[in-house]
Amino acid sequence: MSKYMLKPLQVFVFLSFFLLLGVKTEAKETSFALDEFSASVVQAVVEKTMLQDYDGAIKELRALEPSVACVLHGMILTSRFDDLGDTLDIQKAILQLNQCKAKKEWKALGQLQLGFALVQNGNSIKGALSTREAAQFFKDKESTDAKAFYAIYGYYLDQSLRHIPFVSDKRKKYIDDLKWGAENSKYFSYVFTSPLVWIYYDREEYEQALHLIEKVLKKFPRNRVFLQNKADMLYKLKRFDEAIQVYLFSVQEYYYDAPFSIRYWCAVANLVKIYRDKGDLEKSAHWREKLDDKAFIALKKWLDPSILSDL
C-alpha cells in the first residue's frame, strides 16, 4: 500500500462503518494454517512479489490449492498495480478475486483485497461492502494475522470518528497489533508494514516510519515501492540531499520499467518540491516543466492530492 492509495482506504473504511452497525461477530481462531509444503510455496510467492518478480510469483501459485492460489493471485495483481501503476491490473484483480472459492480466513483476505481494488477502480460502495465482510470475519479473532488485518480497518475507522463524543478510540491498540503482525506474521509481514508506515506518516512520526522501511529494504534493497516510501520520509525529515538521491533513482527505475506511470510522476512532483524547498529554483523549474506532459495530466486523478498541492 502506498501514500497515493491511502485516501481511498479511509473512504471505504468510513463507509463500511455504517454498513457494520448492528453486525455481530463470532470469535473463532483463524491462523491461515497450511501444510509445510504449501507454507513454503506461499513464502516463495511473498518473496518474489517483494522482489517485484510478479510473473515468477504467479508461476509459484501452480503448486497451491486453487482457492488459496486465487486469493494470492489477486494480491500479486494489486501489488503490481501499486508498483507499476497499470490500471488494467486492478481490473484483473477484481475479476480474479470475484471468482475465488476460498473459505474462512482466506475468503476474508480475498474480500479485503477486493474491497481495496474496487475502491481503486472507483466503486466505493461495493468496496465498502466487501470490506465489511472481511472486517466481520477478522474482528475479535485471536491470531496475530487476524488482529493485524482488522487493525488496518479499525485504525482508520477510529481515526474517522475521533471527534465524536463517547466513541471508543482503540488506535493505540491497533498500532500495537499492526506492529506485532509486521514483526511476527509468517506470510504477511510486509502487508502489515505498509499501512503502519503510513499511519506513522499521518501522525508525523517520520523516524518511526523510516525505521520500518529500512528493515524491509535491508532484505529487499531494490524494492521500488519501499524506496519511494523512504524518500517520502527523508523529505519530511528535511534530509533533502538523501531524499533527492532516492527520488532520482526512482525516476530512473520507473522511466525504464513503467515510463510515465503513477509512481514516475510521484517522484517527479516530489523533486519539484524538494529542490524548491532546498533553494535550488533552477532544478525545481527543470522538473516542473516535465509536469506539462499530457501523460501526467491524464494520470493526475490517480495521485494523492497531497502530492499535487503546492506544485
Q: Which of 70, 112, 119, 125 is nearest to 95 (CA)?
A: 70
What is the per-residue pLDDT across 46-67, written as a single tens digit (0 to 9) for each?
A: 999 999 999 999 999 999 999 9
> What domains appear along the chain, each with residue ranges and CATH number?
222-311 (1.25.40)
Task: Note the pLDDT of residue 308.
Answer: 84
Task: Note the pLDDT of residue 167.
Answer: 66
Distance of alpha carbon 281 from alpha carbon 247, whole angstroms: 17
With a cut of 70, say whether residue 86 has pLDDT above it: yes
CB atoms within 10 A of CB 33: 12
| pLDDT confidence tier of residue 207, bands split at 50, 70 and 90 | very high
- Furthest CA-CA distance within the chain: 61
| pLDDT confidence tier of residue 300, bands split at 50, 70 and 90 | confident
Task: Note the pLDDT of residue 92.
Answer: 96
With a cut of 60, say whether residue 95 has pLDDT above it: yes
Question: Which residue has 509486521 as its cell numbers?
Answer: 182
Residues 6+ apart with CB under 8 A from 19: 128, 129, 132
Task: Note the pLDDT of residue 166.
Answer: 67
| pLDDT confidence tier of residue 269, bands split at 50, 70 and 90 | very high
Residues 6+ apart with CB under 8 A from 311: 269, 272, 273, 288, 291
Q: Which of 114, 100, 193, 180 is nearest to 146 (CA)?
A: 180
C-alpha cell, 58 = 504467479
Average pLDDT, stretch 253-267? 94
* 45-59, 119-133, 235-249: range with lowest mean pLDDT: 119-133
Task: Note the pLDDT of residue 25.
Answer: 38
Distance of alpha carbon 216 from alpha carbon 209, whole angstroms: 11
What is the per-residue pLDDT across 67-78, written as a single tens digit (0 to 9) for each?
A: 999 999 999 999
Residues 6+ apart with CB under 8 A from 224: 52, 83, 250, 253, 254, 257, 263
With a cut of 80, say whether residue 2 has pLDDT above it: no
C-alpha cell, 199 = 499511519
Question: Which residue has 484483480 as its cell numbers?
Answer: 93
Percentage of the chain beyond pLDDT 90 is 69
Q: What is the chain's Cα-based Rg?
A: 19
With a cut of 70, say whether residue 154 has pLDDT above it: yes
With a cut of 80, say whether residue 223 has pLDDT above it: yes
Task: Note the pLDDT of residue 21.
Answer: 35
With a cut of 80, say whether residue 265 has pLDDT above it: yes
Task: Note the pLDDT of residue 159.
Answer: 79
Task: Note the pLDDT of residue 23.
Answer: 36
70 touches 110 (CB < 8 A)? yes
Average pLDDT, stretch 66-92? 95
Average pLDDT, stretch 217-241? 97
Q: In Å, how far are 105, 288, 294, 300, 303 from 291, measured between CA atoms?
A: 44, 5, 8, 10, 13
More confident residue, 205 or 17: 205
Q: In Å, how far are 39, 70, 80, 84, 189 from 45, measured between CA atoms?
A: 10, 12, 13, 18, 13
Task: Note the pLDDT of residue 42.
Answer: 95
Task: Note the pLDDT of residue 113.
Answer: 93
Task: Note the pLDDT of residue 32.
Answer: 86
Average pLDDT, stretch 185-211? 95
Alpha helices by DSSP H, listed for the chain, are 6-20, 36-50, 54-60, 66-84, 87-98, 104-120, 124-138, 144-160, 171-184, 189-202, 206-219, 224-236, 240-257, 262-278, 281-290, 294-299, 305-308
C-alpha cell, 215 = 528493515
